[in-house]
A and B are shown apart, each in its own frame.
Chain A
Amino acid sequence: MTKAAKLIRVTYLGLLILALIAPMLGLYPVFVMKLLCFALFACAFNLLLGFTGLLSFGHAAFFGSAAYVTGWLIKSQHFTPELGLLAGALASGLIGLVVGAVAIRRQGIYFAMITLAIAQMVYFVCLQVPFTGGEDGLQGVPRGALFGLISLESDTAMYYLVVAIFVASFLAITRIVSSPFGQVLKMIRENEPRAISLGYQVDRYKLLAFVLSAALAGLAGSLKTLVMGFATLSDVHWSMSGEVILMTLLGGVGTFFGPAFGAGIVIALQNMLADKVGSWVTVIIGVIFVLCVLAFRKGIVGELQAYLRRRQR
């Protein structure tokens, strides 16, 4: 094992232990859960942007619609949490299939604009259909009992479920990326014409990546509904799509852990700024965006990796 790989492994192990003992360190569990939900969202988004090279400006559509589906199923149809989560992820995967099928007909900038436009459409649908509660949101979703056995009402039980789901999804993403399928995605990102000339059906690969990313983003949204007990319009609004881009960009596009890290920073920032700067939040987020694009396009984790690599040489 190389020195770098060892370092990474140790870091991950450390983070996992930190996550497991976080509630005992006085870290506020609900906050950490929310953070993990957004971290998962950002990782799912990165699967598309970082490893396939497709910038979707409409991922809030998947996050939010899954949040609504799960909330509605659990609240009105009395689904158990695990089925609710699964259904949410499936639903957003299906929406992803439809959106993806339309969007991958164009590349680059157009792709971004199309996803944004379709997501706006999803927003209007969520605003108008009766079960979402419009501006009030879908409120009072009970956490219920996992498999009908383990009650999730206590924050501690819920916390370990969230950690488990996050770790499993994170491992799944790393597995997807390092699989032969993931290698093809990378090739598409680097040189699409080449991939086509080698006989790969590029569109199918892109679509599958899109669906996977949408389903995982949906899982994150569903999980958030379960933790917080509601789904609201801000989950589907396009500014949420902007936020997840910021998280990924800030942490490091195309790194495994970067997006999660970026999500941590953005969520912590939002939480801290909430009682301090008032209306300057938007401006600060905007400035971070500009700085990221101008000064460190690799993101924090990406720059760190580059630094370590330079030092090794």
Chain B
Amino acid sequence: MKLNALVAAMAITLAAAASAQVANTGAVKIGFITDMSSLYADIDGPAGGEMIKWAVADFGGKVLGRPIEVLTADHQNKADVASSKAREWMDKDNLAMLVGGTSSGTALAMAKVAAEKKRPFISIGAGSARLTNEDCTAYTVHYAYDTVALAKVAGSALVKAGNKNWFFLTADYAFGYSLEGDASAVVKANGGTVAGAVRHPLNASDFSSFLLQAQSSKAQILGLANAGGDFTNAMKAAKEFGINKTMKIAGLLVFINDVHSLGLANTEGLQLADSWYWNQDDASRAFAKRFFDKYKRQPSSLQAADYSAATTYLKAVQAAGTTDGDKVMETLKATPSNDFYTKGKIRADGRMIHDMYLFEVKSAKESTGPWDYYKLVSKVPGDQAFTTVADSKCSLLKK
């Protein structure tokens, strides 16, 4: 026992001495942990890290007179790798801020670490609305999108356009249920009906039988409450069986990379919600051109958000005059942001409230070339798109 106490005391003094030394001097370190190698590497991945570096370079490479350094790591979709890397950077490198990439499991784990160490954590690629709802922390910012917003945007805009009767094809786990649940609540609230739903297992090899069930429901619109490989395979099968001719299809979590890999032949007419599209205005096109020149593809909304988030953070540090987590968070939440990606404001729970869009995928005839994929159907203001203050369980909103 004595030995333990001694050891503990020594360790704490050492750690304290070490951290006191590096604080407020040396480089301001920004960390970026995302999936660089597995399921979600295309929509964010290494290019997302590069966007943060661009943001830093465009900012001048320095803030408060200190150089800025960007650390990146691949969490391989494993929450334990993500959280231990985050912890290590915060303890050993005195990381000032962490950007979290794709996959909700890793983001929730990193948010806990960041809160414990009192560092700002900006989550971009993760979809789970839990980050700013029941699992919200004072240090989390959820910047780009969440599943609630996607479901609400797609649901409300489509019902208003007259697509009243829905059927859902849902991935059979928590993520799928929440997408389906949020979307059907919105559909019903706007006067629509839900004819039914069929649950498919994760990574299902074949969707034809599920789609036949959807077709026999005679609903007008098929909501795909799934993502990634399940989404692409469902779309392919829908085209093969001609479902896209009899029903309108809405993807509840779709990125432009999914549309690109499927091709317009398979996706024509698909309705989807997203936070940004590269061709939406001049400023976005300028950013996209720069991206295209390097990667020979157009950026996803997440990659644009990576750039925007890093810039927003650096501006907040500049304004606050410090990298101290609490003060920077205060500044972040007090300052509306206005750039090519977002014109929005970070709410007390950390949710970035900005406009969301419903797009329709063009037909091959309408498209002028590769990556000219979307046409805007409608724009949904941020306060209608995201979880409302009344619905939220986050304690930070209840004052």
Q: Which A residues lie at the B interface, using CB under 8 A? A: 20-21, 23-24, 26, 28-31, 34, 124, 127-128, 130, 132-137, 139-140, 154, 156-157, 160, 224, 228-230, 232-234, 270-271, 273-275, 278-282
CA distance A137 to B88 in the complex (A): 21
CA distance A285 to B39 in the complex (A): 17
B164: interface (CB < 8 Å): no
Q: Which B residues lie at the A interface, using CB under 8 A? A: 4, 7-8, 10-12, 14, 36-38, 41, 46, 71-81, 83-85, 87-88, 91-92, 103-105, 108-109, 112, 128, 130, 135, 172-177, 201-202
CA distance A31 to B135 in the complex (A): 25
Inter-subunit contact A137/B108 (CB<8 Å): yes
CA distance A26 to B202 in the complex (A): 42
Q: Which residue of chain A has its CB nearest to the CB of B18?
A: A26
Inter-subunit contact B8/A274 (CB<8 Å): no
CA distance A266 to B201 in the complex (A): 31
CA distance A12 to B41 in the complex (A): 42
Inter-subunit contact A24/B14 (CB<8 Å): yes
Inter-subunit contact A24/B85 (CB<8 Å): no
Residues in A with CB closer than 8 Å to B77 are 234
Residues in B with CB closer than 8 Å to A136 are 104-105, 108, 128, 130, 174-175
* 28 chain-A/chain-B pairs, Cβ below 8 angstroms: A23-B7, A24-B7, A28-B92, A31-B84, A31-B88, A34-B80, A132-B174, A137-B79, A137-B105, A139-B112, A154-B8, A156-B7, A156-B12, A157-B8, A160-B4, A224-B80, A228-B84, A230-B79, A230-B109, A234-B77, A234-B79, A270-B81, A271-B84, A273-B74, A274-B74, A279-B36, A281-B37, A282-B38
Cβ contact of B74, chosen from A21, A26, A156, A278, cutoff 8 A: A278
Inter-subunit contact A30/B109 (CB<8 Å): no
Inter-subunit contact A23/B11 (CB<8 Å): yes
CA distance A128 to B76 in the complex (A): 22
Residues in A with CB closer than 8 Å to B41 are 279
Inter-subunit contact B80/A128 (CB<8 Å): no
Residues in B with CB closer than 8 Å to A24 are 7, 10-11, 14
Inter-subunit contact A234/B72 (CB<8 Å): no
Residues in B with CB closer than 8 Å to A135 are 103-105, 173-175
Q: Which residue of chain A has its CB nearest to the CB of B82?
A: A274
Nearest-Cβ distance from residue B109 to partner chain A, whole angstroms: 5
Q: Which residue of chain A has its CB nearest to the CB of B6?
A: A24
Known: A136-B128, A275-B71. 11 other contacts (CB 8 A): A24-B10, A24-B11, A29-B11, A127-B202, A133-B174, A134-B177, A136-B105, A136-B175, A140-B108, A228-B80, A233-B105
Residues in B with CB closer than 8 Å to A156 are 4, 7-8, 11-12
CA distance A270 to B88 in the complex (A): 14
Inter-subunit contact B78/A134 (CB<8 Å): no
Cβ contact of B109, chosen from A139, A160, A279, cutoff 8 A: A139
Residues in B with CB closer than 8 Å to A274 are 73-76, 81, 85
Which residue of A21, A30, A134 has the most chain B CB atoms within 10 A of its CB atom? A134
Q: Which residue of chain A has its CB nearest to the CB of B78?
A: A234
Inter-subunit contact B173/A140 (CB<8 Å): no
CA distance A280 to B37 in the complex (A): 7
Residues in A with CB closer than 8 Å to B8 are 154, 156-157
Contact A281-B174, Cβ < 8 Å, known A137-B109, A157-B8: no
Inter-subunit contact A270/B76 (CB<8 Å): yes
The 4 tightest CB contacts between A and B, nearest first, are: A134-B174, A279-B37, A134-B173, A137-B105
Inter-subunit contact B87/A30 (CB<8 Å): yes
CA distance A156 to B91 in the complex (A): 14
Residues in A with CB closer than 8 Å to B104 are 135-137
Inter-subunit contact B7/A232 (CB<8 Å): no
Residues in B with CB closer than 8 Å to A230 are 79-80, 83, 105, 108-109, 112
Nearest-Cβ distance from residue B39 to partner chain A, whole angstroms: 10
CA distance A58 to B76 in the complex (A): 20
Residues in A with CB closer than 8 Å to B37 are 278-282
CA distance A254 to B230 in the complex (A): 41
Residues in A with CB closer than 8 Å to B175 are 134-136
Inter-subunit contact B105/A30 (CB<8 Å): no
Which residue of A21, A130, A135 has the most chain B CB atoms within 10 A of its CB atom? A135
Residues in B with CB closer than 8 Å to A134 are 173-177
Residues in B with CB closer than 8 Å to A23 are 7, 11
Q: Which residue of chain A has its CB nearest to the CB of B176?
A: A134
CA distance A21 to B3 in the complex (A): 11
Residues in B with CB closer than 8 Å to A21 are 7
Q: Which residue of chain A has its CB nearest to the CB of B126?
A: A136
CA distance A46 to B8 in the complex (A): 33
Inter-subunit contact B112/A229 (CB<8 Å): yes
Q: Which residue of chain B has its CB nearest to the CB of A124?
A: B201
Inter-subunit contact B135/A34 (CB<8 Å): no
CA distance A270 to B80 in the complex (A): 11
Contact A130-B174, Cβ < 8 Å, known A156-B12, A274-B74: yes
